[in-house]
Amino acid sequence: MSDSSERRFSAQAIHLVRTATISNLALSQMADQKASLLMGASFVVFSLAVGQARSGAASPTLILLGCFAFIAAFLAVAAVIPSAGSKPVADTRANILFFGVFTHMDEEEFADRVIDELGADEDVFRLMLRDIYQNGQVLRRRKYRLLGWSYRVFMLGLTLTLASFLIEQREVISSLL
């Protein structure tokens, strides 16, 4: 906690902090939705490729697409796997608002720690800003990084699949020209 007895905040300060919280939540939801879309598309492509491979009718192009779809799906799943923290966090600077931290405490200890932070506006803002910052770190370091790689792998797979298909079908294509 800081000495906040003299610091005054604009009446709009809470709106700024709430807006930042809502924006981070929206970004997290968008990442989850994008990952879900990519997982669905990748699972369909992978399932079709496996089905064709099992019947013996899979071309190298389809196997290539299936492999890239699997990797893209794996990365998308990794982006949305929740991390709740398996061990109690002893650090007093830990994000007390994160369930992975406060569920390792007794209810009374949790309530006492939060109430200790509610004594002054600056302490409340610091608590909220720590939550915003740490959620933003998770978004940047984990969700959006893995989601970005998932999309890149999927696009690379599509590109290489097209190239492979064109090579496989070069005689048919040249007869059309």
Residue-level pLDDT at 173:
87
Half-sphere exposure of 136 (CA within 13 A, CB side): 10
pLDDT at 6 over 70: no
Answer yes or no: are the C-beta atoms of 4 and 121 closer than 8 Å. Answer: yes
- pTM (2 decimals)? 0.81
- Residue 2 in this model has a pLDDT that exceeds 70: no
**To which residue do tokens 């794996």 refer?**
74
What integer is the mean pLDDT of 68-90?
85
**Alpha carbon distances (Å) from 176 to 41, 134, 164:** 31, 57, 18
Domain map (residue ranges) of the chain: 13-176
When pLDDT is cut at 50, 70 and 90, the band that residue 136 belongs to is very high
Of the candidates 151, 157, 145, 156, which has an alpha carbon nearest to the alpha carbon of residue 38?
151
Cβ atoms 132, 22 nearer than 8 A = no
58 vs 61, which has greater pLDDT?
A: 61
- The band of 71, judged by pLDDT with boundaries at 50, 70 and 90, is very high
User: Look-up: residue for tokens 């290489």?
Assistant: 160
Neighbours of 134 (CB within 10 A): 16
13-58 residue pLDDT tens: 999 999 999 999 999 999 999 999 999 999 999 999 999 999 988 8
